[in-house]
A and B are shown apart, each in its own frame.
Chain A
Amino acid sequence: MTNKSLSPLVDPRCWDDTTAALRAAAAQLLTDGTVAAVVGYVAGRRAGSALPAIVSTAEEAAKLIFSPACTNNLSLYLTRSKKEVVAKGKLAVMVKGCDLRAIAGLISENQLSRDNVVLLGLSCPGVYAAPADRSQPLSAGNIAAKCCECFVRQPGNVDQLLGSLPEIPPLKAREAAELARLEALTPQERWAFWNEHFSRCIRCLACRQVCPFCFCEQCLCDRNRPQGVEGSPRPAGNTAWHIVRAMHLAGRCGGCAECESACPMEIPLNLLNRKMAQELKELYGFEAGTEVQASGPLTSYNEKDDQSFIK
């Protein structure tokens, strides 16, 4: 790694400005009773760390932060899988551009009402890659792959846009390059690549649990009478699980890459999501989460659908 890749990507003070605006906005929303709670991030014990927090007083709002460690997609807390949070009442939520796509998708799927959520949009230069040391400034060397190709650093259609965006130097599209590399492999080589990764899976299901779209109360992979997918952490069931996951998210996933970031075994799951998104775009001209829309191509039926694959 060169020294250049470790130098700060932007002036770190931009996060301080966003944090100040955020605290004021959150305190106001809580004080005037617009919302019951704000879903945001607070600093953790470890240097530079941040973790999701649900704050319900102006006093607690003063602890909210925005930093490159704010990796989580907080739309997770707005779904029925978080019923104890949703039960608090109307919520405000801190959203980065990548998180907003999940919110649009959740509204499209009738999981969330736009009127029942206040969106605090964040000007976001990027977040850390999962293994990055949070005590170092954000740099080309430790930024998340998804951020290198981000096209929504300032989310639109939010209630308040917080902070301003500094100029960001061009970044190498690492994930697109890796996807292209995989596509150039033979099917056997690609199978070997995924087998190697899936054999490491321990079925902790962090990929499922952090996904805003995995809000099903009964997941197929938890069914045991009859068993849908082998639950045991063995290569066959692992592969089945990850294929089911990718297919179930096709046309829904907004590309926040939380699944990959959460995976303790570092399985590059977002490559699967991206491949699915690419297929959907090529086959149906459809992109998930760019706007609220009635239903995606894999969740709607049309008599004119291509049926030539049914043999």
Chain B
Amino acid sequence: MPKTITTQNLHALLDRLIAAGTRVIGPKHSGTMTLYEPLCSGSELALTELPRRSAKEAFFPICESILSYSKVEGKTTVSDPDLARLPATLLVGARPCDAAAAPVLDAVFSWDYKDEFYLERRKKTTVVGLACTRCDDACFCTALGNAPDARGGSDLFLTPLTDGSFALEVVTPKGEELLVAASNLLTASNAAPVPLAAPAVPQFDLQKIKGWLDNHFEDPLWAGIAERCAGCGACAFLCPACHCFDIVDEGSESKGERRKYWDACGFSKFTMHASTHNPRDVQPARYRNRIMHKFKYYDDKFGQTLCTGCGRCVRACPVGIDIAEVLKEIEDRSQ
């Protein structure tokens, strides 16, 4: 018998988890857009639109305190945040392009230094992926070998059915555990799945692209593409896979925090040395790093691509830089 769940019962499941103290994060209407945010009730789940920001925040928040200090009557106290207090979390309704980023990020956050903040959140989070049935012309997941129904990064996977319910598929033991918790809410719908999204960008040959990148650190292409780059962080901040951060002490002499927050290689100060020498002194050099990191360095180091084809950077770039167009240009040059 197929395992399915109605929208109403899915909401009931989320309500049950929220009541039990689980932090449930899912797509939710927020002002003029949809964002992945903590839900107060299952009925807040809004699955129609791709959230404006990616789901990486569930593991890698935009800003977090990694240490705090206070000084009272000359005595300084320093304390670490209590990671044990991070709540069990359910990330529900993650698009395959967002879910796929989690295993990619695991590689860098558990490499030479184990990032306990990321890893603790990751360990405590169950990811419920959602097959994608809508796309626009910025989407290009399929061009990178990803797919609108890819299970990568999901523990449990939902496929929308034509009667408004969802087919459930267990991907990992964590997903199995969740399914057991939902067992009395399951139904048996025989409705057909809603047709999947079909992004129009043709498949890239990533090996060929990497081959070109291996040999073209210096190339006129970079200026051609990126002289227009305004040097903001919109692409990196909306990206599910970009993971650079800065660490800054903020506060006063008597009280403050050490904060870790998102940074971006497009910023001119990103590589600024204390001497004021800047090895990436012009915008094309910074944009080159963005492409090299995603399609060469990360592959060299971890055998993975640091892009899932969600298209957020394409939609958000204030000056219209389109990473799918850039990859096509590189592929054409590597013939």
Contact = CB atoms under 8 A, between A and B. Distances in A.
A264 interface: yes
Interface stretch (A26-34, A229-237, A276-284, A285-293): A229-237
A153 interface: no
B234 A206 contact: yes
Interface in A20-57: 44-47, 49-54
From A45, A234, A262, residue with most partner B Cβ within 10 Å: A45
B228 interface: yes
Contacts of B320: 44, 49-52, 72
Contacts of A230: 250
Interface in A207-223: 208-210, 222
Interface band, chain B? 35 or more
Nearest to B317: A51
A203 interface: yes
B31 A204 contact: no
Contacts of B62: 202, 233
A196 interface: yes
Contact of A234 (B30, B63, B234, B319): B63
Interface in A168-201: 196-197, 200
Given A45-B325, A46-B137, A54 B264 contact: no
A208 B137 CA distance: 28
Nearest to B246: A231
A51 B31 CA distance: 28
B227 A85 contact: yes
A76 B229 CA distance: 11
Contact of B227 (A44, A54, A203, A234): A54
Contact of A204 (B138, B232, B250, B314): B232
Nearest to B32: A266
* Chain A binding surface, main DSSP class: mixed
A44 to B, nearest CB: 5
A51 B324 contact: no
B234 A45 contact: no
B318 A258 contact: yes
Contact of B232 (A44, A210, A232): A210
A203 B269 CA distance: 14
B318 A261 contact: yes
B8 to A, nearest CB: 30
B31 A76 contact: no
Nearest to A196: B31
Contacts of B322: 44-46, 49, 51
A136 to B, nearest CB: 13
B248 interface: yes
B250 A264 contact: no
Interface in B89-114: none
A48 to B, nearest CB: 10
A163 to B, nearest CB: 22
A13 interface: no
B168 interface: no
Given A44-B320, A44-B322, A84 B282 contact: yes
Contact of B262 (A83, A197, A227, A233): A233
Interface band, chain A? 35 or more
A204 B282 CA distance: 18
B233 A203 contact: yes
B267 A205 contact: yes
B182 interface: no
B230 interface: yes
A52 B320 CA distance: 8
B243 interface: no
A224 interface: yes
B321 interface: yes
Contacts of A210: 230, 232, 318-319
Given A83-B282, A202-B62, A232-B261, A51 B321 contact: yes
Contact of A262 (B33, B138, B234, B321): B234
Nearest to B283: A84
A127 B54 CA distance: 28
A265 interface: yes
B291 interface: no
B223 interface: yes
A266 B269 CA distance: 25
B234 A264 contact: yes
Contacts of B283: 82, 84
Interface string B109-148: 0000000000000000000000000000110000000000
B168 to A, nearest CB: 33
Contacts of A231: 246, 248, 250, 261
B26 interface: no
A264 B238 contact: yes
Interface in B222-261: 223, 227-228, 230-234, 236-238, 246, 248, 250, 259, 261
Given A46-B138, A84-B282, A196-B31, A54 B228 contact: yes
A191 to B, nearest CB: 17
Given A204-B264, A205-B233, A264 B321 contact: no
A144 to B, nearest CB: 14
B234 A52 contact: no
Interface of B: 30-33, 52-53, 62-63, 137-138, 223, 227-228, 230-234, 236-238, 246, 248, 250, 259, 261-262, 264, 267, 269, 282-284, 314, 316, 318-322, 324-325, 328
13 contacts: A49-B322, A51-B322, A76-B230, A81-B231, A84-B223, A202-B237, A203-B237, A203-B261, A205-B267, A206-B233, A208-B232, A209-B318, A233-B63
Given A51-B320, A202-B233, A262-B318, 11 more contacts: A47-B137, A52-B228, A72-B318, A206-B233, A209-B318, A210-B318, A210-B319, A231-B246, A232-B250, A262-B230, A262-B232
